[in-house]
């Protein structure tokens, strides 16, 4: 395998393909005896003659149009424009003809043309000869766009482009022509849509294209000396774009920087960032950073041009800015601890328990059918962040409830916590009874705190086990009206501090006030209420159980359907600042049937009535129910007929609930944090 320059690799690829296939020919300005503007076609005119290496007039529209027509006629043209900046006068031939021809002929037409264009700044060619325009071509269905960063990829991708039956835009950075690297002598292909990991790392993913790949590698080398492991991913083609490789890297490093020389606004990095946000947002531990050119024409003056071009320094700065955002440290000995000194109790193992009962297929189908977003994957994402918080707070052992979906094991796939994570040894019934059993076992095994993941149903079930251990309910936020809507990492940190025993329970917990529902004077534990008036219209709400601690902001300035309630018969109930702690909603879909959904803490009012009145603890308040289904104990669905006596009342016999804001304030006052970050 010989060492060749980027330019030589391109030249060799064209020569070998022209030798292999007589239908391959080259056309463009000065590509013949002169050898091209940058010398890429040098020697090919002498080897193949003027019939296959054709000098054209200075008319880009003719070059691209001729290539498109020749390709549709069975030839395989390689067209060259001197600069990508000149494509503007040939956009119709490329965008509207070559890119769409195969589609408009029902797949019968082939357009095997390759359009080579140098791009990029750095040679003092000023604003009209130095742009990076790959984002233009990425927006056109029917095109493929290759943007190689190394001599090896340049040859392999160009051969793939020439052999492809679709139009390929092949972009070559001018500053890469002299780059050397190992290139096989024999022909080979590099597949489109397959990214290459140029450097393996564990802390930050840098996705870079073209010349920025070299800058990213230089930045990674400098950062390695500071203990930061950078993974450099080169997409190699931006259309098709290999998002699978990028996302897998993000899942490993939890941090992302995107670097390209094109301007940042609507540049190729924007598409990468958008897809990461859609598919892997919850794997990110810090905001994404883009390193790109400023939104301005490219200066001619060398010092200004150098300042305009993104550099390795910019990539280093972007990575360091991410690392300063509180990124989770890697789980090495002695790291990831939030407490300054050991908690009371000597060597006592600090233990937390996670109770996460997955939604059943029946629940998911019902909720999805009515437009609710509900997925067990939400619990996986929350659990991952919860584990990070527990680890940072110094928890040494996590006991977790097993389940059929595998919520905690799936979360552990993405992280490597230093603490021991052990499933509770218990049989599964795939019911809320599992939560009750798991809570009892965890308490017997010394859990200092329990986190009930998923909100109301899991938390209520855990309470039925008469546990005395503090419990922290953590909501998924999906189809759920629930009082604890906090960032899961903060929840884990607070739970870990409680488990450490640094503060007495009365300082960190409160006795919850619960809402009881009575049917014919018999209390029932309702996890989900589906009030069915018509087959295709329903309202659903989770029964709130910790009523004294409903944050005012959570229920203020929200539409009812935005917090888990769908209006019946087109009516919307508005929750306003004048009713800051919630309502019992009474909806009248048809003037005959009255539906009341009780979701609120100590207040009761009809829809449209601002003056709510108190509901004293222990006093039953009658409510009217339409024929409906009640999911009792989170398991049994009980049909309620018209005329059933229904009431709601408050009880102060709830569990001890972790007061997250109080815990964090106590920790701050005790000096457990330094400069806003865990010590």
Which residues, other chains included, contact 298 with Cβ-Cβ below 8 Å and sequence gap of 6+?
121, 126, 127, 130, 131, 305, 308
| Alpha carbon separation from 546 to 449, 479, 493, 604, 623 (Å, rounded) | 17, 17, 21, 16, 20
**CB-hemisphere CA count at 13 Å for 533?**
22
How many angstroms separate the CA atoms of 92 and 480, rounded?
52
Tokens of 440: 């009892």
In the numeric block, which tokens belong to residue 245?
């490789």
Contacts of 535 by beta carbon, 8 Å cutoff, 6+ apart? none
When the pLDDT of each residue in the chain is averaged and rounded to a whole number, the result is 77
> Contact 327/677 with Cβ under 8 angstroms?
no
CA 637, distance to chain mean position in Å, is 36
User: What Cα–Cα distance (Å) separates residue 486 from each residue in 149, 400, 514?
Assistant: 44, 21, 20
Q: Could you tell me which of 74, 96, 97, 83 has the C-alpha nearest to residue 24?
A: 74
> In which band, very low, low, confident or very high, does the pLDDT at 478 lie, cut at 50, 70 and 90?
very low
Per-residue confidence (pLDDT) for residue 53, from 0 to 100 = 97
537 alpha carbon, distance to own chain's centre:
32
Dist CA 10 CA 153 (whole Å): 10
DSSP-derived pairing of the beta strands 646-651 and 621-623: antiparallel
For 31, residues 6+ apart whose C-beta sits below 8 A from its C-beta are: 41, 44, 45, 53, 54, 55, 80
Averaged pLDDT, 99-121:
95
pLDDT above 80 (res 537): no
Within 8 A by CB and 6+ apart from 674, the residues are none
H-only helix segments in 187-267: 211-224, 243-253
What pLDDT score was predicted for residue 364?
Answer: 45
- Output the six-digit token pair for 131: 């742009």
Weakest-pLDDT range from 213-217, 432-436, 587-591: 587-591
Strand runs labelled E in 235-288: 237-239, 256-263
Give the C-alpha separation, 248 to 207, whole Å.
12
- Check residue 124 and report its DSSP letter: S
User: For 417-447, what is each residue's pLDDT tens digit?
Assistant: 889 999 999 988 877 678 888 888 999 999 9
pLDDT in tens, 58-75: 999 999 999 999 999 999
Task: Name the strand (E) or helix (H) holding 46.
Answer: helix 44-48
∠ Cα 651 656 661 (to 5°): 110
The SS3 call for residue 246 is helix
Are the beta carbons of 631 and 530 closer than 8 angstroms? Answer: yes
Euclidean distance between CA atoms 14 and 26, whole angstroms: 9
Under the banding of pLDDT at 50, 70 and 90, the label for residue 333 is very low
Whether residue 548 contacts residue 654, with contact meaning beta carbons closer than 8 Å, is answered with: no
Residue 343 and residue 337 in contact, taking contact as beta carbons nearer than 8 Å: no
Identify whether the C-beta of residue 114 lies closer than 8 Å to the C-beta of residue 107.
no
Q: Please give the torsion angle defined by the CA atoms of residues 26, 27, 29 and 30, in that order, rounded to the nearest 10 degrees.
A: 40
SS3 assignment, position 505: helix
- Per DSSP, what are the bridge partners of residue 239? 145
The angle formed by the CA atoms of residues 239, 41 and 47, to the nearest 5 degrees, is 125
- From 49-58, 169-178, 644-653, the region with the lowest mean pLDDT: 644-653
In 290-392, where does DSSP find H-type helix? 302-308, 312-323, 361-369, 376-392
Run of H or E residues at 587: strand 584-587
The pLDDT score that the predictor gives to residue 415 is 81
User: 223: Cβ–Cβ under 8 A, 6 or more apart, which residues?
Assistant: 204, 229, 230, 316, 319
SS3 content of the chain, % helix, strand, coil (to 5): 35, 25, 45
Of these residues, 129, 152, 173, 510, which one is catalytic?
129
Question: Residue 255 and residue 205: Cα distance in Å, rounded?
Answer: 6
Contact assessment for residue 230 and residue 90, using Cβ atoms and an 8 Å cutoff: no
- Buried-state track 629-638, b at ≥16 Cβ within 10 A, e below 16: bbbbbbeeee
> Bridge-partner residues for 114, per DSSP?
78, 168
Q: Is 139 a catalytic residue?
A: no
Q: Are strands 628-632 and 584-587 parallel, antiparallel or unpaired?
A: unpaired
pLDDT value at residue 593: 36
Whole-number pLDDT of residue 645: 74
Work out the percent of the chain whose per-residue pLDDT is above 90. Answer: 48
Q: DSSP class of residue 560?
A: G
For residue 472, what are the CA distances in angstroms to 53, 439, 599? 74, 12, 20
Per-residue pLDDT band for 613 (boundaries 50, 70, 90) equals: very low
Give the alpha-carbon dihedral of 498, 499, 500, 501, to 10 degrees.
60
How far is the C-alpha of 638 from the C-alpha of 520, rounded, in Å?
A: 13
| Residues 357/461, Cβ–Cβ less than 8 Å | yes
Please give the pLDDT value at position 564: 31
Residue 418: the pLDDT is 83
Q: Are 312 and 208 in contact (CB under 8 A)?
A: no
- Give the model confidence (pLDDT) of 251-291 as tens digits: 999 999 999 999 999 999 999 999 999 988 878 888 899 99
Structure confidence at residue 24 as a pLDDT band (50, 70, 90): very high
For residues 77 and 67, give the distance between their C-alpha atoms in angstroms, rounded to a whole number: 6
What is the tens place of the pLDDT at every residue in 336-357?
Answer: 334 444 444 444 568 999 988 7
What sign has the CA pseudo-torsion 569, 635, 562, 555? Answer: positive
Cis peptide before 240 (omega within 30 of 0): yes
How far are the Cα atoms of 300, 312, 417 from residue 200, in angstroms, in the given order? Answer: 37, 18, 21
Confidence of residue 661 (pLDDT cuts 50, 70, 90): confident
Q: Which residue bears the tokens 């090919």?
A: 44
Distances (CA, A) of 218 to 292, 405, 628: 16, 43, 65
Distances in Å between the Cα of 373 and the Cα atoms of 322, 370, 432, 497, 637 are 31, 9, 21, 32, 22
Looking at residue 85, its pLDDT comes to 94
Q: Which of 59-68, 97-106, 564-573 has the lowest mean pLDDT?
A: 564-573
Instruction: Report the C-alpha gap between 199 and 176 in whole angstroms.
Output: 19
pTM score: 0.58
């Amino acid at each position: 395998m010989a060492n060749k320059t980027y330019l030589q690799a391109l030249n060799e690829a064209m020569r070998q393909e022209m030798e292999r296939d007589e239908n391959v020919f080259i056309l463009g300005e000065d590509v013949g005896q002169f050898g091209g503007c940058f010398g890429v076609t040098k020697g090919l005119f002498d080897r193949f003659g003027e019939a296959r290496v054709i000098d054209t007039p200075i008319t880009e529209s003719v070059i691209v149009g001729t290539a498109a027509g020749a390709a549709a006629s069975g030839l395989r043209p390689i067209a060259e424009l001197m600069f990508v900046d000149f494509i503007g006068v040939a956009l119709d031939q490329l965008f509207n003809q070559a890119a769409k021809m195969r589609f408009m002929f029902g797949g019968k037409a082939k357009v095997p043309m390759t359009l080579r264009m140098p791009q990029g700044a750095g040679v003092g060619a000023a604003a009209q000869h130095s742009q990076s325009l790959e984002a233009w071509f990425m927006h056109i269905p029917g095109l493929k766009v290759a943007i190689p960063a190394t001599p090896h990829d340049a040859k392999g991708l160009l051969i793939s482009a020439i052999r492809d039956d679709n139009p390929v835009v092949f972009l070559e950075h001018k500053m890469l022509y002299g780059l050397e690297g190992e290139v096989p002598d024999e022909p080979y292909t590099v597949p489109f849509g397959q990214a290459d990991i140029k450097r393996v790392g564990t802390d930050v993913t840098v996705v870079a294209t073209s010349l920025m790949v070299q800058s990213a590698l230089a930045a990674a080398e400098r950062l390695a000396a500071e203990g930061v492991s950078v993974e450099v991913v080169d997409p190699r083609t931006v259309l098709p774009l290999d998002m699978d490789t990028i996302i897998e890297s993000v899942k490993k490093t939890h941090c992302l920087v995107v670097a390209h020389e094109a301007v940042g606004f609507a540049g190729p990095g924007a598409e990468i960032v958008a897809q990461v946000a859609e598919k892997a947002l919850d794997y990110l531990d810090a905001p994404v950073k883009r390193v790109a050119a400023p939104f301005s024409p490219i200066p001619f003056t060398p010092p200004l041009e150098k300042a305009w071009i993104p550099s390795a320094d910019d990539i280093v700065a972007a990575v360091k800015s991410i690392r300063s955002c509180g990124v989770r440290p890697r789980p090495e000995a002695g790291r990831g601890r939030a407490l300054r000194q050991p908690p009371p109790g000597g060597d006592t193992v600090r233990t937390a328990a996670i109770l996460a009962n997955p939604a059943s297929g029946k629940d998911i189908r019902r909720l999805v059918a009515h437009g609710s977003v509900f997925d067990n994957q939400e619990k996986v994402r929350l659990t991952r962040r919860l584990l990070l918080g527990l680890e940072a707070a110094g928890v040494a052992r996590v006991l977790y409830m097993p389940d059929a979906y595998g919520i905690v094991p799936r979360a552990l796939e993405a992280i490597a916590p230093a603490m021991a994570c052990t499933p509770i040894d218990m049989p599964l019934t795939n019911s809320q009874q599992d939560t009750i059993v798991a809570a009892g076992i965890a308490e017997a095994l010394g859990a200092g705190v329990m986190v009930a993941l998923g909100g109301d149903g899991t938390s209520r079930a855990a309470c039925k086990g008469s546990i005395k251990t503090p419990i922290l309910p953590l909501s998924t936020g999906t189809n759920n009206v629930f009082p604890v809507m906090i960032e899961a990492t903060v929840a884990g940190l607070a739970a870990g501090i409680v488990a450490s025993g640094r503060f007495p329970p009365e300082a960190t917990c409160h006795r919850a006030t619960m809402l009881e529902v009575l049917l014919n004077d018999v209390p029932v534990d309702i996890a989900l209420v589906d009030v069915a008036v018509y087959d295709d219209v329903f309202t659903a709400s989770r029964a709130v159980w910790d009523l004294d601690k409903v944050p005012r902001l959570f229920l203020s300035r929200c539409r009812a359907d935005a917090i888990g309630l769908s209006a019946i018969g087109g009516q919307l109930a508005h929750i306003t600042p004048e009713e800051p702690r919630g309502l019992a909603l009474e909806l009248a879909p048809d003037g005959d049937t009255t539906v009341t959904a009780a979701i609120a803490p100590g207040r009761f009012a009809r829809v449209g009535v601002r003056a709510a009145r108190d509901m004293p603890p222990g006093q039953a308040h009658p409510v009217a129910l339409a024929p409906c289904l009640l999911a009792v104990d989170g398991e049994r669905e009980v049909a309620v007929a018209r005329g059933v006596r229904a009431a709601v009342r408050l009880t102060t016999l709830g569990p001890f609930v972790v007061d997250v804001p109080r815990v964090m304030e106590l920790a701050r006052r005790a000096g457990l944090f330094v400069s806003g970050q865990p010590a």
